[in-house]
Amino acid sequence: MRRSLFCCFLMILLYPVGVDLYLVALPDIAAALGAGEAQLHAAFSLYLLGMASTVLAGGALADRIGRKPVVLGGALAFCMASLAAAAAGGVPALLAARAAQGVGAGALYIMTFTVLRDVLSRQRLASVLSVVNGAICVVPALAPALGYLIQSSLGWRGIFAAMAGLGGLVLLAAGGLLRETRPAAASEGEGAPLAFLAAPGFARMCALSSAGVTCILAYVGASPMILMGRLGFSAENYALAMTALALTSMAASFLNPWWIARLGSGRVLGLAHFALGAAAASLFAAEGLGPAFAPALVLAGLALVGVGFSAGFGVAMGEALAACRRRIALASAFLCVTQIASSALYIWTLGWLGAPPLAMLRYALIGAVLLYLAGLAAPRASGRCAMEER
């Protein structure tokens, strides 16, 4: 089990690395390739759509032939696509490479949750997923500073070369350490392929996890425009601010198992959405109170976004996967494609409509809180997930 857990923690890192490591270089990429703000949004969204485009097929394949081949294929795809991005000579080549990076990252993302569901009991799953989320937060904590250092010495192309190196490391580690965890073919293949959709609570937890992912990705995607563009942060100050914010999220993730053990999953999920609501209020206040208060209120709001997401995501994902008995990889893939596709569609649509980055984030936060409240108001017969209160 330890080897599987180590590989899972390593595998999951490629997804946030592909999102966060290059953000500090966006101004240089735009200048070098002649990319506009809409194209930079497209590069972000295409990475997410690349993830979404492959996960269902990857989940079905993992249920049929095993988890390890999908892991190895995803790591190889990410590595090669990162090299292509490093060599891109124009915007179309970069966009294609970003989509291909997403394909590789998506395969590893769903296999992380699938392997953990294979080897962990329901009682441990939500807590371990919270810790996994903390590992994901390590990347935003380190990525701005690391990206700045790489950019300073090797330029923005060096950042994508570093991504390729990490993909190669995951490929070697998974090839040598990861054991196949797929259940017996007979039990895994029983039942209708999409029977997990009828599992009690699955639909609600899927919706809540998708809303949470939309909030955090809107935050990540909008942060350069908000902090560097609107508030005038330098690249160095942006890197420092994002590192501090990511450390806050990481601390919340690593503390979450302790809170789950003492308060129960249901209460922790409620507190997570309270934090998201407080984040929205802080960001609204930043608009109303003027420039003297804006930086502090914006940073407080961004910190609360990270805390709310970190507290709620592990619970929602753990409860959704724990409800599934078969087709676990396909269920993981469905969760991923719903989360990523809804996030990409939201970011792309609001970008196309011309919504300011700060407004884009606020709307996502309000939507997540309203979705949670709607679930509380729904009758128990609607399939609300029964959580263990401890």
pLDDT digits (tens, 9 = 90+) for 95-132: 899 999 999 998 888 888 888 888 776 667 777 877 77
The overall average pLDDT reported for the chain is 81
- Alpha-carbon gap, residue 308 to 279, rounded angstroms: 9
Task: State yes or no: pLDDT of 78 exceeds 90.
Answer: yes
Q: Who has greater pLDDT, 340 or 284?
A: 284
Task: Let me know: does 163 contact 101? Beta carbons within 8 Å.
Answer: yes
Rg of the chain over CA atoms, in angstroms?
20
Closest by CA to 63, choosing from 181, 166, 165, is 181
- Which has the higher per-residue pLDDT, 3 or 262? 262
Task: Report residue 255: phi and psi, to 5°.
Answer: -85, -15
pLDDT-derived band of residue 382, with 50, 70 and 90 as boundaries? very low
With residues binned 3-state (H G I as helix, E B as strand, rest as coil), the percentages for the chain, rounded to 5, are: 85, 0, 15
**333 with 67: CB under 8 angstroms?**
no
pLDDT at 1 over 70: no
Percent of the chain with pLDDT over 90: 15
User: What's the CA gap between 42 and 117, in Å, rounded?
Assistant: 33
Identify the pLDDT of residue 65.
Answer: 84
Residue 249 and residue 309 in contact, taking contact as beta carbons nearer than 8 Å: yes
Assessment of whether the complete model's pTM goes beyond 0.85: no
Asked whether 216 and 250 are in contact (CB, 8 A), the reply is: no
Residue 258 CB neighbours (<10 A): 11
Whole-number percent of the chain with pLDDT over 70: 89
Instruction: Please report the pLDDT score of residue 187 as a whole number.
Output: 46
In the predicted structure, residue 286 carries a pLDDT above the cut 60: yes
Q: Higher confidence at residue 29 or residue 35?
A: 29
Cβ(332)–Cβ(181) under 8 Å? no
Express each pLDDT in 347-363 by its tens digit. 888 878 888 888 889 99
Contact predicate 17/159, CB 8 Å? no
Residue 141 has pLDDT above 70, yes or no: no
* CA–CA dist 266, 272 (Å, integer): 10
Identify whether the C-beta of residue 263 lies closer than 8 Å to the C-beta of residue 244. no
Tell me: the pLDDT tens digits for 153-191? 888 899 999 999 989 998 998 888 777 777 665 344 455
Q: Do residues 119 and 4 make contact, with C-beta atoms less than 8 angstroms apart? A: yes
pLDDT at residue 343 tops 60: yes
Output the CA angle 230-233-236, nearest 5 degrees: 150
User: Per-residue pLDDT averaged across 11-20, rounded?
Assistant: 85
**What are the structure tokens assigned to 31, written together?**
């200048």
